[in-house]
Amino acid sequence: MDLSRAAALALDDADPLAGFRSRFTGTDDDGPDRLLYLDGNSLGRLPVATPAAVARVVEEEWGRGLVGSWGGWVEQSRRIGDVLADGVLGARPGEVLVGDTTSVDLYKLLVAGADARPGRDVLVCCADDFPTDRYIVAGVAQARGMTVREVEAHLDTGLDLAVLAAALDERVAVVVLSQVAYRSGALVDIAEVTALARESGALVLWDLSHGAGAVPARLTAAGADLAVGCTYKYLNGGPGAPAFLYVRRELQEQLRQPIWGWFGARDQFAMGAAYDPAEGVDRFAVGTPPVLAMAAVEVGARLSAEAGIERLAAKGQALTELVIALADRWLAGSGVTVASPRAAARRGSHVSLAHPQAWQLTQALIDRGVVPDFRTPDRLRLGPAPLYTRFVDVWDAMDRLRTVLTERSHEAYPTERTRVT
């Protein structure tokens, strides 16, 4: 494999997604000291079109249309949901809704799923999953008198399906898993896990937050039951952007979510005395959606759908393969090891590098114009978002990391995590 900078530039010249880079702010600097942003798996860049889209809602729809603009705003959740369903998630129209936070959506679907499996008293989750997912599972179990089975997973290689299978039986109501492990990027096959859980009669609730917009979910093809995910990472919806939820069409009328709000009612403006859930995915809405934030989400969702999830995934794999190849070539002698699965089919769109001083390396890189992030216990995480990251950006970022390690400049930074990244 040619690992020269010229080879990276050639890959950029041949990149079918290259035109999308100019549609994001902060990407027009080609200088040697430019900012190299490799944290798109935490917060995506700002699309150029987003400020105008939000301003239009503020100035025209709110400013001039006032309450009359609700005719369009009411449709936002479903409209954006359908964009994500078709262009990003591999789902059908009417199966995806945008509006609440990922945590609220996870709670809603977890409780609804548990209610749909009466007589079952166990929830299963992964012991190494993102903390909020585990906290919500524990909270729901405590409130309902259920038991949690936390399935162990390897920090780097992720979940072993044989271990998961051993935790499944007729007592399990819902399994909660992430498609992509937030630390290592280890990828779980949605179709395999869904089929496995179905044998025991359990539902699977997927958290797609760490891959949506860069990793195909193919929910319909996989027969997936339930899913949630954020929109501020690879989908570029902005900090704190509303999340999405997915409910398979065949399950929608069987489930009743626990937060009975007026936006989830069949005839919300009838202001009825009793709650009557709406048909379809609309029953999983709660209250008034965050209209301004949704405008930003729509821009990001449409960009990803236009690029196409399969093309995004192919480039994401190529970018992360370059990270791994350069780490092997340049950094192995400095105590850096690749802590993500090496097989592309087992890896999401970010790479985790292990080093005893990963925290200090993270700070040294930030001060040298490279933005990664740190994850406990000793992981440097690099997330080259395929919509706007170039191969030469990856090459230059790894070159700066090589320089830091060669000069041992990271050793001047404190060992305590005193700075938020």
Active site residue: 78, 171, 283, 381, which one? 381
Active site residue: 78, 108, 233, 390, which one? 233
Active site residue: 37, 232, 263, 388, which one? 232
In a 13 Å sphere around the CA of 292, the CA atoms on its Cβ side amount to 10
Phi, then psi, of 180 in degrees rounded to 5: -120, 125
Distances (CA, A) of 179 to 45, 190, 205, 266, 339: 23, 7, 10, 32, 17
Distances (CA, A) of 7 to 1, 11, 322, 358, 392: 9, 6, 11, 28, 9
Query: How many other C-beta atoms lie within 10 A of the C-beta of residue 52?
Result: 11
CB 109 within 8 A of CB 115: no
CA distance 5 to 143: 56
Map residue 226 onto helix, strand or coil: strand
Is 232 in the active site? Answer: yes
Active site residue: 207, 282, 393, 396, which one? 207
Residue owning tokens 């936006």: 263
- DSSP conformation letters of 123-165: EEEETTS-HHHHHHHHHHHHHHT-EEEEEP-BTTTB--HHHHH
Active site residue: 21, 86, 130, 249, which one? 130
CA distance 279 to 292: 26
Is 413 in the active site? Answer: no
Is 207 in the active site? Answer: yes
Is 269 in the active site? Answer: no
Is 79 in the active site? Answer: no
CA distance 246 to 96: 4
CB 81 within 8 A of CB 281: yes
Query: What are residue 39's DSSP bridge partners?
Result: 383
CA distance 190 to 179: 7
Q: Known catalytic residues?
A: 130, 207, 232-233, 381
